[in-house]
């Protein structure tokens, strides 16, 4: 198994959901970078569980400890390693069902892949808990990008069949992204957000769950990042996005919607704006030929409904190879979309910094 990603910014994840700790090692950070630890804590808090009645009641403060690569307030240039100790495990919740393959989890595939030696508690290394170190790395990358004027933000585009507004030329600016980051439930249209919250709460009552879509953007990107084909902006970012548990689809710009247009409607036509080359529309999401155009990078990540639900479902007992049923106990999110926003943003920040370093 490989828990490593990247060439210029290299990440190595470790830990399990109900193990002693989780963490990450980051290679490729230049020496002398001043880190705002309070900003990192804020980003971690956005993802942390147990903050409201829309998420799991599991309480984890995600307090991180930097073990190396950081001295006197700045990076040293050596590998930066961070660890988060798990403090609120309920591992006994999984003992009774350790041989029961939970539907739509990594239990069965993990059992086969690792010959039954995988840590089954809370999903082990397959768990969304492992995204906490990813948010830590993303928070560092965000700070580096902000120094270059690049701002990343996101909102809840939809929960089940209830939709928020899209990012547009009118609302896509730094003030909007700062506003969304501070919101507990980040949407552009408040009434739509209220409907979404009610839907999530109703799903919890029914012992069920719902999924949705995160729309993310990066503004003030330079033109020229990325390469055609294998190291395109899309492929670099998608490789990280599909590493986030629960992500089942990614689209850039207007995505699959572009197939419904004529070429004359889909094409992003060029204009001059204050001596800068821009496009009238941004249907391609700021990427052409795998390379950034200088327009805002816009993409969406589709998150599946949380597979851990209290309703009775059919499955198998791997120890007896017999069919059975399961009602999943424990503490679970009725919707993972809200807590996924900072994770998606982190993936964007890491990918963009990776591409910026490649450009040099």
pLDDT tens over the chain, length 360 residues:
568 999 999 999 998 877 889 999 999 999 999 999 999 999 999 998 766 667 666 566 789 999 999 999 999 999 999 999 988 655 566 667 788 999 998 888 888 888 887 777 767 777 888 899 999 999 999 999 999 999 999 999 999 999 999 999 889 999 999 999 999 999 999 999 999 999 999 999 999 999 999 999 999 999 999 999 999 999 999 999 999 999 999 999 999 999 999 999 999 999 999 999 999 999 999 999 999 999 999 999 999 999 999 999 999 999 999 999 998 877 789 999 999 999 999 999 999 999 999 886
Which residue shows structure tokens 């147990």?
Answer: 50
| CA distances for 131 relative to 14, 47, 134, 171, angstroms | 11, 9, 5, 29
The pLDDT, as a whole number, for residue 94 is 64
Task: Name all domains of the chain by residue range, CATH numbers in brackets.
Answer: 4-358 (3.60.150.10)
The pLDDT, as a whole number, for residue 194 is 98
Asked if residues 285 and 348 have their Cβ atoms less than 8 Å apart, the reply is no
Tokens of 352: 């963009």
* Annotated binding residues for NADP(+): 47
The pLDDT, as a whole number, for residue 114 is 84
d(CA 164, CA 146): 27
CA 322, 327, 328, 334 torsion-angle sign: positive
3-state secondary structure the chain: CCCEECCCCEEEEEECCCCCEEEEEEECCCCCCECCHHHHHHHHHHHCCCCCCCCCCCCCCCCEEEEECEECCEECCCCEEEEEECCCCCCHHHHCCCCECCCCCCHHHHHHHCCCCCCCHHHHHHCHHHHHHHHHHHHHHHHHHHHCCCEEEEEEEEECCEECCCCCCCCCCHHHHHHHHHCCCCCCCHHHHHHHHHHHHHHHHCCCCCCEEEEEEEECCCCCCECCHHHCHHHHHHHHHCCCCCEEEEEECCHHHHHHCCHHHHCCCEEEECCEEEECCCCCCCEECCEECCCCEEEEEEECCCCCCCCCEEEEECCCCEEEEECCCCCCCCCCHHHHHHHHHHHHHHHHHHHHHHHC
The pLDDT, as a whole number, for residue 328 is 86
The pLDDT, as a whole number, for residue 329 is 78
φ and ψ of 200, to 5 deg: -65, -45
The CB density around residue 18, as the number of other CB atoms within 10 Å, is 21
Which residue shows structure tokens 């240039």?
Answer: 77
Tokens of 302: 């589709």
State the Cα angle at 133 between 204 and 330, rounded to 5°.
30
* Annotated binding residues: 47, 125-127, 289, 304-308, 331
The pLDDT, as a whole number, for residue 297 is 98
d(CA 230, CA 8): 16
d(CA 198, CA 202): 6
* Annotated binding residues for FMN: 125-127, 289, 304-308, 331
Tokens of 158: 């939809």
Tokens of 117: 């030696």
């Amino acid at each position: 198994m490989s828990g490593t990603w990247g060439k210029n910014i290299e990440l190595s994840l470790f830990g399990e959901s109900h193990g002693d700790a989780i963490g990450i090692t980051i290679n490729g950070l230049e020496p002398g970078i001043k880190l705002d630890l309070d900003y990192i804590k804020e980003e971690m808090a956005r993802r942390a569980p147990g903050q409201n009645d829309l998420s799991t009641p599991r309480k984890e403060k995600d307090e991180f400890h930097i073990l190396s690569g950081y001295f006197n307030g700045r990076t040293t240039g050596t590998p930066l390693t961070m660890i988060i100790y798990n403090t609120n495990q309920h591992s006994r919740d999984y003992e009774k069902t350790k041989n029961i393959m939970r539907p739509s989890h990594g239990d069965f595939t993990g059992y086969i892949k690792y010959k039954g030696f995988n840590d089954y508690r809370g999903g082990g290394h397959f768990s969304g808990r492992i995204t906490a170190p990813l948010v830590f790395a993303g928070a560092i990358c965000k700070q580096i990008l902000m120094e270059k004027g690049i701002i990343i933000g996101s909102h809840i585009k939809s929960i089940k069949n209830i939709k928020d507004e899209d990012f547009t030329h009118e609302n896509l600016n730094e003030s909007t992204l700062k506003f969304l980051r501070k919101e507990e439930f980040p949407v552009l249209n408040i009434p739509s957000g209220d409907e979404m919250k009610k839907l999530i709460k109703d799903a919890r009552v029914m012992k069920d769950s719902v999924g949705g879509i995160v729309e993310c953007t990066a503004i003030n990107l330079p033109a020229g990042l990325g390469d055609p084909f294998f190291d395109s902006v899309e492929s670099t970012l998608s490789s990280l996005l599909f590493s986030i548990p629960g992500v089942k689809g990614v689209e850039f710009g207007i995505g699959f919607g572009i197939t419904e247009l004529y070429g004359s409607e889909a094409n992003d036509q060029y204009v001059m704006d204050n001596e800068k080359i821009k496009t009238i529309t941004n249907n391609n999401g700021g990427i052409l030929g795998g390379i950034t155009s200088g327009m805002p990078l816009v993409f969406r990540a589709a998150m599946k409904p949380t597979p851990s639900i209290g309703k009775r479902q059919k499955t198998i007992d791997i120890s007896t190879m017999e069919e059975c049923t399961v009602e999943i106990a424990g503490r679970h999110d009725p919707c993972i979309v809200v807590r996924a926003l900072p994770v998606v943003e982190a993936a964007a920040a890491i990918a963009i910094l990776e591409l910026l370093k490649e450009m040099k």
